[in-house]
Amino acid sequence: MYTEEVKKRFINPKNVGELKDANGIGVVGNPKCGDIMKIFLKIVNGIIENAKFQTYGCAAAIASSDAVIDALKGKTIEEAEHLTNETVINMLNGLPPSKIHCSVLAENGIHAAIDDYKKNSGIKIKKETEHKKEIYNTKKNTECNNCCGSCELKKLHKNENE
């Protein structure tokens, strides 16, 4: 069911913890499965110098969290904003169709943490990012309604129904 990479990251995540000096914190959850992810970023001069996570969830959620943190470290804010759930899936060498939502949660956690950093730093947040964050943070939106055009949930629900 899970790849060796997912198992390895679940059993021994290397990026778990809290950053006391974080200047960007994102908290996201999936009301359908109950996963909750908190991402901590330490951004200096536009570069993500350090990142950690705390996740309550299944093996795929924890592995996705660990992988996305590896993908973030050393990136500029702009580079991090372009990371997607596909990046996470590739880093994990795949996820079962019923667990794709964990990688979507990780992608959304990135945006929530970066938005928090921008808010705290007085940087304008793009409306698209705010809207996308809202989609995953509200209980009424557990299925894609194609409102933003970039949602991976439509593909997820299609795969689950096949």
What confidence tens digit (pLDDT) does each residue in 66-95 have? 999 999 999 999 999 999 999 999 999 999
CB atoms within 10 A of CB 29: 19
pLDDT digits (tens, 9 = 90+) for 114-129: 999 999 999 888 755 4
Q: Which strand (E) or helix (H) includes residue 90?
A: helix 85-91
* DSSP characters over 128-141: HHHHHHHHHH-TT-
Of the residues 58, 102, 144, 151, only one is catalytic, namely 102
CATH code assigned at 54: 3.90.1010.10
**58 is known as an active-site residue:** no
Of the residues 33, 58, 144, 147, only one is catalytic, namely 33
When the pLDDT of each residue in the chain is averaged and rounded to a whole number, the result is 83
Range of the structural domain that residue 152 is part of: 4-160
Please say if the pLDDT value at position 133 is more than 60: no
pLDDT digits (tens, 9 = 90+) for 42-72: 999 999 999 999 999 999 999 999 999 999 9
**147 is known as an active-site residue:** no
The mean per-residue pLDDT over the stretch 31-43 comes to 91
Report how many domains make up the chain: 1
Residues in CB range of 22: below 8 A, 6 or more apart: 40, 41, 42, 52
CA dist 81 and 61 (Å) reads 20
pLDDT of residue 16: 97
